[in-house]
Amino acid sequence: MSARDRILAAIRAARPAPLPPAEAIAAEAAALLDAPESVRPWPVEAVLAAEFVRKASALGTSFDHLPDRAAIPLAVKRYLDTHGLPPALALQPAPALAALDWTDIDTHDAVAPDQTAALGLALWGIAETGSLVIHSGADAPILLSFLPLHHIVVLEERSLLPHLEDYAAAMQGAAQPRNAILITGPSGTTDIEGSYVRGAHGPGFLHVLMIGG
């Protein structure tokens, strides 16, 4: 008997009654998600964007509010200048970003192992936790969000979601990407004597360019 069969047989042997039909199990599982407001935190801010900024800022994420996408290159330049960084940027190879006017910044779509700064797009923001959601894909390399020291992320205000479950609902029926990542603040560690240090392996700085509103 294979390990698989042995394990499944042991599980079945431990259950007194036969397994209920799949629909009954699914109904029980769905009921465990009922009344989500009774088992999750309530927002403090009435406006979604304000709540998102409140949560993400508390974790060390910085913000710049922009009227539209055309303002992105200038905002990036401003950020690099403020931090005394060279005008170089790894750019997520997405058409929406490539279409912008990058005359003042040297952009490339390969991420170097010691990349200083990179710019990418978030698909959603989750107000409850201040998280940004990214998915892997043809125009979305995962390393772009992990190798650089400064990670700059574009987030449309209209793609904000109130709660974690709303992201799960948005993905309901959609194809699950290879990687779906919720990024919540810059990378950090408390592994040496419990003292908090930013930039453990991932980015030490997370900067959000919030578009619209």
Partner 1 sequence: MNAPQQGFKERADAELKNAVLKIAIDRTTGNAERKRAVAVAAFPEFQAARARGRAIKDHVIAHLDHYLEMFERNATAAGAQVHWAADDAEARAIITRICLEADAKLVTRAKSMLGEEIGLPHALADAGIERVETDLAEHIIQLAGERPSHIVWPAMHRTREQVAILFKEAHHPPPAADDPATMVQSARRELRAKFLGADVGISGANFLVADTGATCTVTNEGNAELTTTPPRIHIVTAGIEKLVPSTAHAFALLRLLVRSATGGEMTQYTTFHCGPKRPGDADGPEEMHIVLVDNGRTRMLADEFRPMLRCIRCGACMNHCVVYRQIGGHAYGGTYPGPMGAVLTPVLDGLAQSRDLPHACTMNGRCAEVCPVEIPLPTLLRAWRTRSWRERLEPRSVRAALGLWAMAARRPWLYRLGSRIGVRALRLFGRRGWIGSLPLAGGWTAYRDLPRPSGRTFMEQYRAGQAGRAGQTGREARK
What one-character DSSP code corresponds to residue 140? B
Task: Supply the minimum distance, in Å, between the C-beta of residue 105 and partner 1.
Answer: 21
For 30-130, strand residue ranges (E) read: 62-66, 88-91, 106-108, 117-121, 124-126
Residue window 124-143: x/- pattern of binding to partner 1, with contact defined by CB under 8 A: -----xxx----xxxxxxxx
73 vs 141, beta carbon nearer partner 1: 141
1 vs 68, beta carbon nearer partner 1: 1
The residue from 15, 18, 46, 68 that contacts partner 1 (CB under 8 A) is 15
Binding to partner 1 (CB under 8 A) within 59-118 occurs at 59, 93, 113-114
**Any idea which residue has 């992990």 for tokens?**
146
The residue from 87, 162, 188, 212 that contacts partner 1 (CB under 8 A) is 188
Stretch that binds partner 1, among 66-74, 82-90, 152-160, 176-184 (CB under 8 A): 176-184
Letter string b/e over residues 36-75, b meaning 16 or more CB atoms within 10 A of that residue's CB: eeeeeeebeeeebbebbbebbeeeebeebebeebebbbeb
The residue from 80, 183, 208, 210 that contacts partner 1 (CB under 8 A) is 183
Which sign does the torsion angle of CA 31, 35, 38, 41 carry?
Answer: positive
The residue from 3, 23, 68, 95 that contacts partner 1 (CB under 8 A) is 3
- The site for partner 1, by CB under 8 A, has a size of 76
Residue window 27-56: x/- pattern of binding to partner 1, with contact defined by CB under 8 A: -xx--xx----xxxx-------------x-
Letter string b/e over residues 123-142, b meaning 16 or more CB atoms within 10 A of that residue's CB: bbbbbbbbbbbbbeeeebbb
Strand partners, 133: 124, 182
Task: Supply the minimum distance, in Å, between the C-beta of residue 11 and partner 1.
Answer: 4
